[in-house]
Amino acid sequence: MTDRTRIAIPNKGRLSEPAVDLLRKAGLVFEVSSRALSVPARNMPVEVLFVRADDIPELVHDDAAQFGITGLDLVAESSFDTAIVSELGFGRCRLTAAVDESSPVTSIEDFAGLRVATSHPVTVSRFFAGKGIEITTVPLRGSVEVAPKLDIADAIVDLVSSGSTMMINGLRPVATVLESVAALIARRDAPSSPLTTMVRAVVAARRKRYVLMNAPAEAIEEIERIIPGADSPTVVPLTHNGMYAVHSVVDADEMWKVLPDLESAGASAILVLPIEQMIP
**Which residues make up the interface to ligand AMP (CB under 6 A)?**
13-15, 53, 71, 73-74, 91, 93, 159-161, 180
Contacts of 230 (CB under 8 A, 6+ apart): 249, 280
Give the nearest distance from C-beta 252 to ligand AMP in angstroms.
Answer: 21
Give the nearest distance from C-beta 156 to ligand AMP in angstroms.
Answer: 13
CB 279 within 8 A of CB 208: no
CB 53 within 8 A of CB 72: no
Give the nearest distance from C-beta 260 to ligand AMP in angstroms.
Answer: 34
55 vs 73 by CB, closer to ligand AMP: 73
87 vs 222 by CB, closer to ligand AMP: 87
Give the nearest distance from C-beta 153 to ligand AMP in angstroms.
Answer: 18
Q: Give all strands of the β-sheet with 234-237 in edge-to-edge order.
A: 234-237, 243-251, 208-216, 268-274
Comparing CA positions, the residue from 249, 170, 189 lying closest to residue 60 is 189
Can you tell me the distance from the alpha carbon of 28 to that of 48, in angstroms, rounded to the nearest whole number?
10
Give the nearest distance from C-beta 166 to ligand AMP in angstroms.
Answer: 10
Residue nearest to ligand AMP (CB): 71
Q: Give all strands of the β-sheet with 136-139 in edge-to-edge order.
A: 136-139, 115-118, 155-160, 93-100, 171-180
74 vs 147 by CB, closer to ligand AMP: 74
57 vs 71 by CB, closer to ligand AMP: 71
40 vs 89 by CB, closer to ligand AMP: 89
